[in-house]
Chains A and B, each alone.
Chain A
Amino acid sequence: MEIDLEKPELKVVLPGDPINVTKKENIKLGPGLTQTQDSIICIKAGILNHTSVKNKWWVENNQRRYIPAEKESVIGTVTYKGGEFYRLDIGSAHQAILPILAFENANKKNRPNLNIGSLIYARISLANKDMEPELTCVNPESNKADGYGELKGGFVIKCSLRYCRRFFSGEIELISLLELLQKKKDFEMAIGMNGRIWITSTSIKDTIFCCNVIKGAENLNCSDINKVANSLGI
């Protein structure tokens, strides 16, 4: 299939579709694309994306199953407590390892005390298809917790991975929805790239309200999100 990149229309691709790349040098292939002997083909269905910066290509889809990738922030539940590490369910095929020492100011004597079932906000420090993913609760740039660690109280909603990415990419409609919601209810949230959003507020009632608004916006387009946002404003 010929894909004309100049046209701004949707570039829907299916697995097996060959991609005609105009500039073949220094190409970077993101998720959903792979290189065979002589061509580049899609391996996932979705919308083909391209940025001329670094000549990057990838396919955007609505996957729900999380595939760990380094540097991403995720929300996980402790399932095992060992002497050296915790094991966390982050929704991927393999459970993730969170070393006891991967916390701010943690050392052999001063270790964090997490229980099975605790909710953790962490960052993926190692991801490889042949290994269990590894997590850390320290931001490597600042060597501080920077918000990573145990999440206390609140509730978790599950959504598509793409919905989470849209928050990170700073989509205007979603951000304004959050801002309006913030004006109405006092709430906090943490977004995991693994399709989990943690929300807490001052009361159960308010948390449920926020959860339902945010969950409800997942399958809406921009104008509908705006409508929801406006209805909040009243």
Chain B
Amino acid sequence: MVREFESSNNEKDFILQGIKEGLRLDNRDKYDFRPIGIILGPDYGRSEITLGNTRVLAKVSCEVVRPYQDRPTEGMITLSTELSPMAFPSIEPGRPSEEEVLVSRILEKAIKRGQAIDTEGLCIVANEKVWSIRVDIHFLDHDGNIIDAACIAAISALAHFRRPDITVIGEEVTIHPIEQRNPVPLSIRHMPICVTFAFFENGEYVVVDPTLQEEQIRQGDMTMTLNIHKEICALSKAGGIPLEMETIIVCSQIATIKAKWITEQIQAALDAEKSKK
């Protein structure tokens, strides 16, 4: 196992003291996100996200498969979040780590259970053929808060994705290559956005979008998944210190503002990409 060493006590004390004084190393306010970079394309369904030094690539692909027998008219969505040693030198490929389980669970909730994508719209011929949509999320560099970054990458890639158009005559299905006929976007019901908080000193201090060094000293964390309509899709607080109800309410208010801000950025990136084409 390639070990990665934690920061020294000096660094940990320094960061904690900074947070208490409302100072972060990158001069951010406690409720600020790091700058978000979204690069879409060149092909459909690709999104590369930077959140400070955290870097995530999402790629959406599709294929025609047989539907599950118990859901004959629903397409499928698969999320793959295998952590790569590129961002996590200490992980062993092929074995899911604790972190990976957490990330996949939150994204699964946000995108699949939150029904961000209309799966009925992916049906081609009931019982016979449906679209299976796959989102591969690759973590390229890790400087904290991979969940929020992965969510932005996944949802922007899905929004950017186009599947080949089809014609159905009876049971005959023709798939038109994207060079021949304009491909079709997925029907996206809403865009779930994750906002992660880190807590320090028994919940007395909170920051949004923690960096890796901040994550190392946090005492607890919470991820809220919500959309621009101020609907909360998921809320995940996996362990850590207990929080007061009031804190959670404050966080949810901040999260609504952040979700709106992030959605606008994704939308701007999508619009810019569209006008280019």
Question: Do these two chains interact?
Answer: yes
Residues of B within 8 A of A152 (CB): 10
- Binary per-residue interface labels of chain A (100-132) against chain B in the complex, 1 for a CB within 8 Å, 0 otherwise: 000000000000000101110000000000000
Interface residues of B in 155-191 (CB under 8 A from A): none
Query: Is the CB–CB distance between A204 and B5 below 8 Å?
Result: no
Residues of B within 8 A of A153 (CB): 10, 13-14
Interface residues of A in 46-82 (CB under 8 A from B): 77, 79
Query: Is the CB–CB distance between A208 and B25 below 8 Å?
Result: yes
Name which of B5, B8, B18, B21 has the most chain A CB atoms within 10 A of its CB. B8
Query: Is the CB–CB distance between A156 and B18 below 8 Å?
Result: no
Name which of A118, A154, A204 has the most chain B CB atoms within 10 A of its CB. A204
A119, A205, A208: the one contacting B9 at CB < 8 Å is A119
Assuming the contacts A77-B5, A79-B5, asked whether A208 and B27 have C-beta atoms less than 8 A apart, the reply is: yes
Query: Is the CB–CB distance between B10 and A119 below 8 Å?
Result: yes
B24 → chain A, closest Cβ, in Å?
A: 8
A182 within 8 A of B: no
B64 → chain A, closest Cβ, in Å?
A: 46
Tell me the total A-B contact number using a CB cutoff of 8 A.
Answer: 49
Residues of B within 8 A of A119 (CB): 8-11
Residues of A within 8 A of B13 (CB): 153
- Binary per-residue interface labels of chain B (16-56) against chain A in the complex, 1 for a CB within 8 Å, 0 otherwise: 01100101010100000000000000000000000000000
Name which of B10, B13, B17 has the most chain A CB atoms within 10 A of its CB. B10
Which residue of chain A lies nearest to B4 when distances are taken between CB atoms in the complex? A89
Query: Is the CB–CB distance between A204 and B8 below 8 Å?
Result: no
Assuming the contacts A77-B5, A208-B27, A212-B27, asked whether A156 and B21 have C-beta atoms less than 8 A apart, the reply is: no
Which residue of chain B lies nearest to A196 when distances are taken between CB atoms in the complex? B8
B134 within 8 A of A: no
Complex Cα gap A154–B7 (Å): 12
B74 → chain A, closest Cβ, in Å?
A: 49
Complex Cα gap A210–B8 (Å): 19
Query: Is the CB–CB distance between B10 and A204 below 8 Å?
Result: no
B40 → chain A, closest Cβ, in Å?
A: 28
Mostly, the A contact residues are mixed
B112 within 8 A of A: no
Complex Cα gap A208–B6 (Å): 20
A189 → chain B, closest Cβ, in Å?
A: 13
Interface residues of B in 105-133 (CB under 8 A from A): none
B25 → chain A, closest Cβ, in Å?
A: 6
Complex Cα gap A198–B11 (Å): 10
Query: Is the CB–CB distance between A89 and B5 below 8 Å?
Result: yes
B66 within 8 A of A: no
B9, B18, B27: the one contacting A118 at CB < 8 Å is B9
Question: B residues within 8 Å of A by Cβ?
Answer: 5-14, 17-18, 21, 23, 25, 27
The 8 nearest A-B residue pairs measured at CB: A117-B9, A77-B8, A89-B5, A119-B8, A155-B14, A119-B10, A204-B18, A204-B23
- Could you name 6 residue pairs across A and B whose Cβ atoms are closer than 8 Å? A117-B12, A119-B8, A153-B14, A156-B8, A156-B10, A198-B10
Question: A residues within 8 Å of B by Cβ?
Answer: 77, 79, 89, 115, 117-119, 151-156, 198, 204-205, 207-208, 211-212
15 further A-B contacts with Cβ under 8 Å, apart from A155-B14, A198-B10, A205-B21, are: A77-B7, A77-B8, A115-B9, A118-B9, A118-B10, A152-B10, A153-B10, A153-B14, A154-B14, A155-B25, A156-B11, A204-B18, A208-B18, A208-B25, A208-B27
